[in-house]
């Protein structure tokens, strides 16, 4: 699969999972979770920077590497890289989420995080903890999103599954916790996409990418 296909698929999955955030919560996590010392030790982190492998599981299989920077309760920044170059990025704070891709053309899409979090009854800290595989945070995700986490001192493997337009979507994050940097004095910063990026709405993006699903 070409890099642009992967980015397009990832954008579609993120939009679908975000849309699911407007639905009701699950009362418990259906899949088993493993909670171990690394999660407990890092529970009070202020910021974290770690390598993360991003695997699309459905509707097609593809993988890439990335770097995630999170400032607790403030922001999430994911840099996606292929062949040593950044090919896409995602950023979220308490006001908005911005998804940007550079191939096949520069495109940026914004999601209303305030509304998504409000309807989902979650905070940005909840989302950050869920991304790291915290079982309590995963249990607060919408019931339309199934999840699975396996965490130890070296890595955390977290999967998310949902359905969009009647088709299954799957995303797996594999964190290299043994290479993580915790509580840096100056966390890495995200750069706003420039004026050369085409601005699109989530509906427009899904329509443009609909053929991939």
Residue 40 CB neighbour total at 10 angstroms: 11
In tens, the pLDDT along 15-74 reads: 666 655 544 444 434 434 444 344 444 557 999 999 999 888 887 788 888 999 999 999
Domain CATH for 33 = 2.50.20
Q: Among candidates 106, 109, 112, 155, which has minimal Cα distance to 132?
A: 155
Q: From the CA atom positions of the chain, what is the Rg in Å?
A: 16
Number of domains in the chain: 1
Residue with the bigger pLDDT between 3 and 196: it is 196
Lowest-pLDDT range of 66-75, 125-134, 165-174:
165-174
80-92 in b/e burial notation, b at 16+ Cβ within 10 A?
bbbeeeebbbbbb
Residue numbers of the domain that contains 179: 3-212
Say whether pTM exceeds 0.75. Answer: yes
| Close Cβ partners of 36 (under 8 Å, ≥ 6 residues apart) | 151, 152, 153
CA–chain centroid gap for 71, Å, is 14
C-alpha to C-alpha distance for 133 and 181, rounded to whole angstroms: 17
C-alpha to C-alpha distance for 28 and 77, rounded to whole angstroms: 28
């Amino acid at each position: 699969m070409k890099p642009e296909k992967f980015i397009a698929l990832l954008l579609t999955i993120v939009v679908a999972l975000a849309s699911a955030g407007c639905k009701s919560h699950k009362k418990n996590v259906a899949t088993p979770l493993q909670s171990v010392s690394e999660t407990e030790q890092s529970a009070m982190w202020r910021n974290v920077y770690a390598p993360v492998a991003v695997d699309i599981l459905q509707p097609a299989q593809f993988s890439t590497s990335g770097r995630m920077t999170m400032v607790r309760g403030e922001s999430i920044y994911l840099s996606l890289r292929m062949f040593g170059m950044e090919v896409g990025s995602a950023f979220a704070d308490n006001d908005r989420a911005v998804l940007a891709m550079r191939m096949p053309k520069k495109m940026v899409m914004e999601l209303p995080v305030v509304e998504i979090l409000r309807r989902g009854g979650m905070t940005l800290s909840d989302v950050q903890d869920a991304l790291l595989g915290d079982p309590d945070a995963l249990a607060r995700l919408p019931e339309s999103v199934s999840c699975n986490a396996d965490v130890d001192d070296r890595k955390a493997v977290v999967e998310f599954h949902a359905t969009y337009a009647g088709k299954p979507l799957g995303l797996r994050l594999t964190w290299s916790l043994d290479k993580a940097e915790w509580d840096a004095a100056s966390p890495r910063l995200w750069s706003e996409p420039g004026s050369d990026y085409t601005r699109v709405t989530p509906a427009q993006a899904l329509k443009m990418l609909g053929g991939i699903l």
